[in-house]
Each structure stands twice: as C-alpha cells, then as structure tokens.
A and B are shown apart, each in its own frame.
Chain A
Amino acid sequence: MTQLPEHQRRAIVKTAVTLFAIAFVLFVFTLWRGVR
C-alpha cells in the first residue's frame, strides 16, 4: 500500500472523525427524542 502524503492522511482522519461524531450525535438524539 502506498504511503499517503501527511496532509492527505490528516484530511482523511478529520473527515472520518467528523462523520463518526455526526453518527454518534444522531444516535443520542434519537434516544433523547424517545425520552422527551
């Protein structure tokens, strides 16, 4: 596997973390909606 340039690696991690955070917030929001 090719080693990607540092800026590309950072961009990938940033994208992945942001998306994971969105998914987690949506999960919590669904539960919150249930409690409310």
Chain B
Amino acid sequence: MATAHHDEHPAGLMRWLTSTNHKDIGTLYLAFALIMLFVGGTMALVIRAELFEPGLQIVQPQFFNEMTTMHALIMIFGAIMPAFTGFANWQIPLMIGAPDMALPRLNNWSFWILPFAFTLLLSTLFLPAGGPAGGWTMYPPLSIQGTMGTDFTILAIHMMGISSVLGAINVIATILNMRAPGMTLLKMPMFVWTWLITAFLLLAVMPVLAGAVTMLLTDRHFGTHFFDASGGGDPVMFQHVFWFFGHPEVYILILPAFGIVSQIIPTFARKPLFGYESMVYATASIAFLSFIVWAHHMFTVGMPLAGEMFFMYSTMMIAVPTGVKVFNWTATMWKGSMTFETPMLFSIAFLMLFTIGGFSGLMLAIAPADFQYQDTYFVVAHFHYVLVSGALFAIIAGAYYWLPKWTGHMYSETLGKWHFWLSVIGFNLAFFPQHFLGLAGMPRRIPDYAVQFTQFNQMSSVGAFLFGFSQLLFVALVIQTVRGGKKATNKPWEGAEGLEWTVPSPAPYHTFATPPRIK
C-alpha cells in the first residue's frame, strides 16, 4: 500500500479553481452534475406539470418547447456525462494504481470549461426571443430559422465538445500509460475497461457533432447552404451527420454505467464477475456496432429499402453483446451470498429496468413498426428507461458504493433504502404509462394532447414529481455523509476487490506515489 506523504494544498476557492488533483476534480465534476441534475429535473417537472391535464395551463407552447430542448441538453451534457467523468477522475487512478491522471492541468481545464458552457446555454432563457426550442437534435430547417438562442447553444455545444474530447484524451492517456506494474489490460477492473472504450467513442464522435453544428452556424450566418434545401443543400444530411454522433453518444451514456454495475454486483454477490473477458469483448462489440446503426433514428425519413433493412438488422445485433452482459450479471448473482445494501438495490433495479428499455429499443428497431412509434411517447418511455433507470441509477449506485471511500464515512442505510424505493416507484409510475400513451398515438414534444390521454398523463406526472422530490433525500444523505457518520474502514464492503480498497478511507489527497505491484 502506498499513500500520501504530504497532503497540503491551497485552501478555499483557490483549491477548487486551480486544483490539478484527480480527486478534487472528480468532486467538482460530481457536484456540477448534481446541480445540473436538479436544473434539468426542474425543467422536466415544468413539462410534467403542464401535461397533467389537456389544454394549456401553466406555460406558453414556445416556453414548453424550450423546456423540452434544454432538459435534454442539460441532462445529457450537464448531468450524466459529467457525473461519469467525475467517477472516472476519482476511480481510474485509484483502480489502476496511478498517482493521478496523466494530464492534470488539462484535467482542470476540461472541467472549468463546463460551468461557462452551461451558463451560456442557460442564459438563452433570458434572451428576448428565448432559448433554443427546436429539440436537442437541432434539426434544420427549424434550427436554421431559430433565434439567437440557437447560436448560443451552438457555441455552448462547441465548449462541451472540447471539454469532452480533452477529458477523453486524458482518460486514454492515463489508462494506456499509468497502470501499475503488472496490471495488464485484461487485469483492469471492468469500470476502467468501459471508460477506456467510452473515451474512444467520445474521441470519434464529438468532433463529428462539432462539425455538424459548425455547418449549422455557417448556414445561419455566413451564407452557406449545407442543410438549406432552398440553396441546394440537404436537411436530411444533418440528420445523418447528427446521428452518426448521436447513436454512439447513447453508448457514451451507458457503457460507464455497465462498468459501475460490473463492480458492484460481484461485491454484493461475493463472487467474481462471471465471464470477465466476454464482458470486455461485449463492451467493445457494442462500441463497434454503435457506429453502424445511426439511421434507425430516421427510418421515416424516406430511405431506400436496403438502407432500412441494413439499419434494422445491425440495430438488432446490438442485443447480442448486450444480452451477454445481462446474462453475465445474472450469472454473477447466481448462487452468490447476496446482500442488499443500497448500491446493490440500485444495481438490481438497473439490471431489470434497463433490460425493459433494451426490449422497447428492439421494438423500435423493427423498421415497419417504427413507422407507428416514431416521435411518440413510446420513444420517450424507451429512452428514459435506458437513461434514467440505466445511466442515472448506475450513477446513484456508484455514488453509494464509493461514498465511504470518498468521504471516510458510512452513509445512512435507512435513508438510502427510502431513497431507493421512492425512486423506483416514482420512476416506474412516471415512465411506464408513457409506453401506452405512445402506442395509443400521443406525439412527443407537445404541450397539449387529446383528452383520452389524460389518465396516463396524470399518473406520469404524479410519478415524475415523486421521483424528482425523492432525489432531495439523496442530497440530504450525501451532505450528511460528507459531514460525519460512522467511520468507514479501508474496505467497507466485505466482498469488494481492487486497489481502491487498499488505501485508507477517506482516500488521502495523494495516493500511489509509489506504484503498487500487481501479481
């Protein structure tokens, strides 16, 4: 075990502004993600409050559209991605026995771009013409005709993209160059593997998004016609370029979640992860396939039949490596000495509910069926099962799992279990009825709806408020755990394996100044 010799660092604000320490920057990312979760969550509650009844009650349609657009951008780029980067910063060096990230100053910069990017994005709500309202996908021609809010959004996306690419470079450089002696690639913890693959995805697709929004910007202000049909351009090309980014982005949002769950389930089943190597290959296969499925987002755009067939079958193929993962997690639990602490509860909920999202994804992958589902609430239900009970539940599970290591204190298991049950009930009440709404034909992104959709919408809104407010319990629990509580040992979980559990809790400011040797 190798730990700190000197823990001195600047105090107060300067510590956080100038820090190059992976643990400090990880904390910054996680705190930022939590704030953005509540900003984006408030927007979701505005949406659900308006949809509680048919007709227009609370907000104007334009503002409603701004809420749907901003909610997505903030949750994807402001909450989920920074949360995973926070986990990467805290855990990757601890898990591979490195003293810090490979490029600590770049790390500081990657983080500090984000508050400026999101201030810029949120400031659009105060512009005279309001914020972006054409959906997070920014399809032309709406986005070309949009107000100044669209320009602010484009610049904000460029900034987020730079932050993500720099973060990805740092993760790859760290994992490839800073592993402790003896830690070969196939000895790395699954969380590190999933992040390595995610970082390559980020590196490959964020520049594509940057290219797409740059062309939007030049179409809007510099007389080009990339996506403007009146000038010989092609609006559908934007959709192709966007979803070439957008589909791998989906896996950027879920692969680290797979990694977190792959750490937690073996710990609380007290068995090694079943099929470790197959998990690595399945992750890599999912990443590869994510590049050849993008047009399933646009089946109704009018593609040649061969194209529809290709994208339909390639999408279905993703079920194979994903199935490998789901069966491996289940097999890990099989005949294990399982206990059900809060991280395990959230991981099991992840496994069951993410699988529901996966199955509704398969339904959407069937091109002829998708003509019916396209742009309905069925799609909304599908991606919230993947991103809330998938990505967000894994993030919450990971936070509970590593809080003792980060803070040096045990969290309140009672409060954690309350948080879990209220979240699971609220989430399912909010999103399960949306499947029925979509199948019955309710379109997404509308502030009003036909009266026959009322009951399911009311259930959904009640569930959304329950889910949203129960997250305040999580904040209370985190604050309580940071401030005090039962002291955590180096390894608070009996079945935990890995280098991070060899250092004291809380992890000292500097760890692994001398690299450990892995046998």
Contact A19 B169 (CB under 8 A): yes
Q: With a CB–CB cut-off of 8 A, which chain A residues contact B103?
A: 12, 16
Given A23-B165, A34-B237, residue A15 in contact with residue B176 (CB < 8 A): yes
A30 touches B241 (CB 8 A): yes
B207 touches A30 (CB 8 A): yes
Given contacts A23-B203, A33-B241, A34-B215, contact A15 B513 (CB under 8 A): no
The smallest beta-carbon distance between B226 and chain A, in angstroms, is 5
- Give the chain A neighbours of B21 by CB distance below 8 A: 1
Q: Using A1-B99, A2-B513, A20-B169 as known contacts, say yes or no to A15 and B177 having CB atoms under 8 A apart.
A: yes
Q: Give the contact-size bracket for chain A.
A: 20 to 34
Q: Which residue of the partner chain A has the closest CB to B103?
A: A16
Beyond A1-B20, A26-B207, A30-B241, whether A16 also contacts B214 by CB under 8 A is: no
Distance in Å: Cβ of A33 to nearest Cβ of chain B:
7
Q: Which residues of B contact A26 (CB under 8 A)?
A: 204, 207-208, 211
Of the four ranges (under 10, 10 to 19, 20 to 34, 35 or more), the interface on chain B belongs to 20 to 34
Q: How far is the CB of B104 from chain A (nearest CB, A)?
A: 7
* B103-160 with Cβ < 8 A to chain A: 103-104, 106
> CA of A31 to CA of B222 in the docked complex: distance in angstroms?
14
Chain A residues with Cβ under 8 A from B215's Cβ? 31, 34
Residues of A near B177 (CB, < 8 A) are 8, 11-12, 15
Instruction: Using CB atoms, name the residue of chain A closest to B102.
Output: A12
* A1 contacts B226, C-beta separation under 8 Å: no
Task: Mark each residue of chain B from 432 to 471: 1 if its CB lies under 8 Å from any CB of chain A, else 0.
Answer: 0000000000000000000000000000000000000000
**In whole Å, how far is B307's beta carbon from the nearest beta carbon of chain A?**
18
Within 8 A of B (CB), among A5-31: 8, 11-12, 15-16, 19-20, 22-24, 26-31
Partner of B172, one of A19, A27, A33, A34: A19
Q: Who on chain B is nearest to A24 by CB?
A: B207
* Interfacial chain A residues near B176, Cβ < 8 Å: 11, 15
A28 → chain B closest CB, angstroms: 8
Whether the Cβ atoms of A27 and B510 lie closer than 8 Å is no
Q: A1-B104, A1-B510, A34-B241 are in contact. Are A22 and B203 (CB under 8 A)?
A: yes
Contact between B102 and A31, CB atoms less than 8 A apart: no
Instruction: Choose from A2, A24, A30, A33 the contact partner of B99 (Cβ within 8 Å).
Output: A2
Nearest A residue (CB) for B215: A34
Please measure, in the bound complex, the distance between the C-alpha atom of A29 and the C-alpha atom of B104, giving whole angstroms: 30
Task: Tell me if B100 counts as interface (CB < 8 A to partner A).
Answer: yes
A27 to B244, CA, bound (A): 13
Considering only residues 60-109 of chain B, those with a C-beta below 8 Å from chain A are 99-100, 102-104, 106
Closest to B209 in A: A30
Does the CB pair A34–B226 fall under 8 Å? yes
For B303, list chain A residues within 8 Å (CB): none
Chain A residues with Cβ under 8 A from B513's Cβ? 2
Can you give 20 A-B contacts (C-beta < 8 A)? A1-B20, A12-B173, A15-B102, A15-B172, A15-B176, A15-B177, A16-B106, A16-B169, A19-B168, A19-B169, A20-B165, A20-B169, A22-B203, A22-B204, A23-B169, A26-B207, A26-B208, A27-B207, A30-B241, A34-B211
Task: Identify 20 new A-B residue pairs, CB closer than 8 A, beyond the known A2-B513, A12-B103, A29-B211.
Answer: A1-B21, A1-B104, A2-B99, A2-B100, A12-B102, A12-B173, A15-B102, A15-B177, A16-B102, A16-B106, A16-B169, A16-B170, A23-B206, A24-B207, A26-B207, A27-B210, A30-B241, A34-B215, A34-B237, A35-B226
* Chain A residues near B (Cβ < 8 Å): 1-2, 8, 11-12, 15-16, 19-20, 22-24, 26-31, 33-35
Task: Enumerate the 6 nearest inter-chain pairs by beta-carbon distance, A residue then B residue, closest first.
Answer: A30-B211, A27-B207, A26-B207, A2-B99, A15-B173, A12-B102
